[in-house]
């Protein structure tokens, strides 16, 4: 009788211990995502604080460089939407960038429009033009679509030079940069920095909610399997045009910010090299990732100048070699490399916890 009772108590104790281990495992599994979310929110908060403090700690030239990083990041948000989330390739993204830049310049130089009004108008104009040029995307794909978008970037420069009375021809247009309001106490470079920062944050928020809407989910469905998406009631042609339009809108907004920051536009600033560099930037940054556009903006801003410093005779060769090196180390881009590193640390920590248990 006592043996039976002892066996029962032993079994109960073992079951309780197992249940306790199960509860602890469930608890740790439940807490881990919560901790991860909190760390992401904390990291985002720290990044915003650093971004706000940066123009007060850096010299004007560095502030200008960071401003241009954010300008390029806004353009790459659009390209990431088109290529990373909608699966459409474009080698003419610089053309929509030019639409926003020249549209802003014309509105400020010829029409005397206040600069805050030029941002929504430039973005809207690029959206309409992007929707029109999105028509080929409904019939073409792959290499053929890339060639059509490349043609857009190629014929843009001679087109801008032709209408000299409007665009200033080869000499371009020189504008006054937006001046900071007196109540801010900011220097001109700091004011332009905060304008770009506000535009970047707004662009990230817009694309964040767009991707979680019905339109964003439909774009991703078309990217993953166009036939299956059509069976589910999604119209691929419509969402491909929408992807081009939204992508062009972000590029147009970036072009507007570019004009504000530089105070000058000329056709030679928007050659096909710009489109290729933007595409390289988003690939290096990480297609389809949240932080890919920002990392790509850093790449577009700093790597070409570093290539020039390394070898003034062949900066293009150095630039190409750096792209190859990054793609070899991080095939999914810098954002993908960061994610894989974080996953490796999580996996290592989990293995250590199991061994301790």
Q: What is the pLDDT of residue 262?
A: 95
Q: What is the pLDDT of residue 74?
A: 96
Q: What is the pLDDT of residues 185-203, one digit of tens each?
A: 899 999 999 999 999 999 9
What angle do helix axes 236-262 and 60-79 make, rounded to 10 degrees? 170
Q: What is the pLDDT of residue 38?
A: 67
179's tokens: 């001046």
In a domain, 288, yes or no: no
274's tokens: 């710009």
Cβ neighbours of residue 163 closer than 8 Å, sequence gap 6 or more: 169
In a domain, 326, yes or no: no
Question: 257 near 99, Cβ under 8 Å?
Answer: no
Query: Rounded to whole angstroms, what are the CA distances from 176 to 114, 187, 259, 265?
Result: 11, 15, 10, 12
In a domain, 129, yes or no: yes
Burial label, 215 (beta-carbon count in 10 A; 0-12, 13-18, 19+): middle
CA–CA separation, 311 and 104 (whole Å): 35
- Within 13 Å, how many C-alpha atoms sit on residue 76's CB side? 34
Residues of the chain with pLDDT under 70: 1-40, 313-314, 342-343, 346, 357
Beta-carbon count within 10 A of 318 CB: 19
339's tokens: 């994610």
3-state SS track over the chain = CHHHHHHHHHHHHHHHHHHHHHHHHHHHHHHHHHHHHHHHHHHHHHHHHHHHHHHHHCCHHHHHHHHHHHHHHHHHHHHHHHHHHCCCCCCCHHHHHHHHHHHHHHHHHCCCCCHHHHHHHHHHHHHHHHHHHCHHHHCCCCHHHHHHHHHHHHHHHHHHHHCHHHHCHHHCEECCCCCCCHHHCCCHHHHHHHHHHHHHHHHHHHHHHHHCCHHHHHHHHHHHCHHHHHHCCCCHHHHHHHHHHHHHHHHHHHHHHHHHHHCEECHHHHCHHHHHHHHHHHHHHCCCCCCHHHHHHHHHHHHHHHHHHHCCCCHHHHHHHHHHHHHHHCCCHHHHHHHHHHHHHHHHHHHHHHHHC
In a domain, 213, yes or no: yes
The whole domain housing 110 covers 65-273
User: How many domains does the chain divide into?
Assistant: 1
CA–CA separation, 40 and 342 (whole Å): 12
Q: What is the pLDDT of residue 110?
A: 92
In a domain, 201, yes or no: yes
CA–CA separation, 300 and 321 (whole Å): 14
In a domain, 34, yes or no: no
311's tokens: 């070898």
Q: What is the pLDDT of residue 32?
A: 52
In a domain, 209, yes or no: yes
Q: What is the pLDDT of residue 16?
A: 45
Q: What is the pLDDT of residue 357?
A: 62
Q: What is the pLDDT of residue 33?
A: 55
Q: What is the pLDDT of residue 320?
A: 82
In a domain, 145, yes or no: yes
CA–CA separation, 325 and 314 (whole Å): 17
Question: 157 near 267, Cβ under 8 Å?
Answer: yes
């Amino acid at each position: 009788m006592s043996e039976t009772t002892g066996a029962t108590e032993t079994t109960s104790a073992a079951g309780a211990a197992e249940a306790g281990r199960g509860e602890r495992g469930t608890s740790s599994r439940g807490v881990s995502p919560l901790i991860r979310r909190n760390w992401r929110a904390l990291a985002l908060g720290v990044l915003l604080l650093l971004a706000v403090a940066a123009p007060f700690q850096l010299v004007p030239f560095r502030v200008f460089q960071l401003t241009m990083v954010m300008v390029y990041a806004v353009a790459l948000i659009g390209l990431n939407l088109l290529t990373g989330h909608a699966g459409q390739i474009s080698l003419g993204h610089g053309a929509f960038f030019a639409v926003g830049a020249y549209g802003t310049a014309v509105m400020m130089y010829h029409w005397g429009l206040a600069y805050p009004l030029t941002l929504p108008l430039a973005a809207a104009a690029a959206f309409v033009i992007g929707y029109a040029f999105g028509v080929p995307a409904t019939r073409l794909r792959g290499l053929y679509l890339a060639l059509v978008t490349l043609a857009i970037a190629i014929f843009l420069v001679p087109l801008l030079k032709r209408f000299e009375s409007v665009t200033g021809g080869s000499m371009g247009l020189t504008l006054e940069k937006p001046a900071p309001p007196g109540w801010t106490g900011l220097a001109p470079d700091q004011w332009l920095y905060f304008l770009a920062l506000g535009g970047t944050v707004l662009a990230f928020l817009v694309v964040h909610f767009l991707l979680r809407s019905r339109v964003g989910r439909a774009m991703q469905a078309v990217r993953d399997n166009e036939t299956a998406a059509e069976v589910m009631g999604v119209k691929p042609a419509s969402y491909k045009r929408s992807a081009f339009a939204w992508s062009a809108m972000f590029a147009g907004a970036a072009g507007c910010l570019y004009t504000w920051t530089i105070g000058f536009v000329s056709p030679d600033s928007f050659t096909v090299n710009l489109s290729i560099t933007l595409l390289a930037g988003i690939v290096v940054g990480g297609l389809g990732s949240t932080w890919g556009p920002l990392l790509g903006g850093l790449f577009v801003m700093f790597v070409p100048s570093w290539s020039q410093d390394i070898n003034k005779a062949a900066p293009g060769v150095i630039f190409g070699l750096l792209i190859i090196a990054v793609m070899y180390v991080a095939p999914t881009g810098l954002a993908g490399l960061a994610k894989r590193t974080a996953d490796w640390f999580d996996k290592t920590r989990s293995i250590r916890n199991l061994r301790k248990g």
